Amino acid sequence: MPLNPKEIKEKADNLELDYHFDIRLKRRNVKIEDIKYHLKNSNPIIKESEDNENKYKLSYQLEKDKYLTMYILNTQKGLKLLTVFIEKRIK
């Protein structure tokens, strides 16, 4: 069943990150508090993965052409963050 914004908000407190995340957050100047804030309070553009039914791309608009984008896994326990970055989209 596709992930919906309501489920994302409910699972935001159970966000799983492993040690690989330290370098990504540091390098890309993204704070974990900002990720959780958007997960809890904003509605993302949700894109489903073509080869993994539990993998999703979530994009939260920050500016006209910039998004806080993350790839996540939707698990029974919560959400596992795979990667996060500031995405610039090209028209």
Partner 1 sequence: MLNHLEGKGKIDYDYKEDILYFYIEKFMSKGSHEYRYSFDLDGFIVDIDNDNHVTGFELLDASKRLNVDKMILRFIKAGRFNARVKANLIIISFALTSVIRNKPMQITLNAERLNTPKLQETGIECQITPSG
Residue 17 interacts with partner 1 (CB under 8 A)?
Answer: no
Provide, rounded to whole angstroms, the least separation between the CB of residue 86 and partner 1: 5
Angstrom distances, CA of residue 52 to CA of 2, 62, 71, 81, 86: 12, 27, 12, 15, 23
Terminal Cα distance for the chain, rounded: 30
Residue 28 interacts with partner 1 (CB under 8 A)?
Answer: yes
Q: Which of 1, 2, 6, 18 binds partner 1 (CB under 8 A)?
A: 18
Residue 32 interacts with partner 1 (CB under 8 A)?
Answer: no
The site for partner 1 (CB under 8 A) is made up of 18, 20, 23-24, 27-29, 51, 57, 66, 69, 71, 73, 80, 82-83, 85-88, 90
